[in-house]
Structure 1
Amino acid sequence: MDLKDQLKNLFPDHKEEETHIDQSSDAIWMQDDPLICKYEKRKGKPITIIEGYTGADEDFKQLAKELKTKLSVGGSFKNDQIIIQGDYRDRIMDILKEKGFKVKRVGG
């Protein structure tokens, strides 16, 4: 007797509802124009900036979170740009290309 059967015995009037989990994490809108990946220094610290996404802000924020998690670094999403702490242009470009984005490297 598994857990579901035990619960049915305890609560015979309960009606089981089907739960549907939306797997929209992989449904990021792809665009024709390339994303721009550039390197800057702000206050003496290196940062990588990704810009040029024309889709929804929520998708771009989700992409920023995923990049920060994969790279284990800090960063933010401001003014339609993803700002990643450190010079990670090559790794970011590889990750974005795996996801299907076109990426253009700017500056150095």
Structure 2
Amino acid sequence: MGSLQDQLSQIVYSTDQGRVTPEPEPEKIPQGDGVIRLRRETKGRKGKGVTVLSGFGVSSSQLKDIAKTLKKHCGVGGSVKEYTIEIQGDQREPLEKWLSAHGYRFKRTGG
């Protein structure tokens, strides 16, 4: 158990500088193996299927740009969740064509 000195060591407010804000942590980007994984999921979506792409290994802002391009290419909606791109519907065929045209290596996973 720490002493009282340890518990009070973090400055919350100082009259010299005002309120002290903690420094933001750098973004932790999951590193991929260079292969984009394509899979179709229906779990938790009331039977509606989505195509999930993972393994890009880029920052969240770059991932949002890629997702916007893919949604426009397929003509459907989608979202970015936890470093994966979800595209509405079974869009594996057009996504494979787009990925191969833009030099990405990809692999179908799941059923």
TM-score by length of 2: 0.66
Percentage of pairs with the same residue:
38
Equivalent residue for 1:94? Answer: 97
Contact 2:33/2:55, CA 8 A, preserved across alignment = no
1:67-92 deviations in whole A, cap 9, x for unaligned?
10111101001111100110011110
Gaps of 5+ in 2: 1-31
Task: Give matches, 1:29-108, under 5 Å.
Answer: 33-41=34-42, 42-108=45-111
Amino acid across the alignment from 2:91: Y
Question: Match of 1:97, as an amino acid?
Answer: S
Mapped partners of 1:102, 1:52: distance in 2? 10
Deviations along 1:85-106, one digit per CA (max 9) or x if unpaired, are: 1001111011011111101101
Moved over 4 A (4+): none
Unmatched segments (≥5 aa) in structure 1: 1-30
Aligned pair count reads: 78
Please give the TM-score of this superposition, normalised by the length of structure 1: 0.67
- How many Å separate the matches in 2 of 1:104 and 1:70? 19
Q: Please give the alpha-carbon distance, in whole angstroms, between the structure 1 residues aligned to 2:110 and 2:94.
A: 16
